[in-house]
Amino acid sequence: MGLMKIEKQLKRPPVVLVVEDDLEFSELLIKALTTLGCRVKLAPDGFSAVQELSTDYFDFVVLDWHMPGLNGKETLVKAQKIVMVDPLTESLWKDRILPVIIFSGSNLETSDLPRCKHFKFLKQWTKPIGIFQLRENVQDVLLDLNFTGQQ
């Protein structure tokens, strides 16, 4: 499906948080997402991602699973705790479930994924990945989500 049709379905550009510590790879992700009409914010580590998730709105997250500091699992668990404790954030997230796409160099088992009320694991993408496959994956996600249940 082309960009015009996706934009018509969304009526606005999707907003994506990319959590990736590898600058070269994050640039590839951002290029694939922006080419398809997404607005992208980059968090270079788990701590930055937690801050972004507690203060900003995103339609979905692309999350590197293996990062120094907070890894992907720790990032989601910490973000979940902040969302549940802060009264302002909790009201914004009350009925919200944010789709998460995990990027990893290895296959993850379901048992590796934390149970978080406000995050739904949508897909896992495997590194390394080329720009054309990445764009195809992003298009698939935009179509899968249809952004009807993002609030």
CATH of domain 15-144: 3.40.50.2300
How far is residue 103's CA from residue 30's CA, in Å, rounded to a whole number? 14
Q: Which residues contact 5 (CB under 8 A, 6 or more apart)?
A: none
Kindly report, residue by residue over 42-79, the tens digit of the pLDDT: 999 999 999 999 888 899 999 999 999 999 999 999 99
How far is residue 25's CA from residue 18's CA, in Å, rounded to a whole number? 11
What's the whole-number mean pLDDT along residues 124-132? Answer: 85
3-class SS of residue 135: helix
Domain limits, the chain: 15-144
pLDDT at 111: 61
More confident residue, 130 or 92: 130
Do 127 and 134 meet the contact criterion of CB atoms below 8 Å apart? no
Q: Select the highest-mean-pLDDT range: 84-88, 104-108, 109-113.
A: 104-108
Model pTM score: 0.83
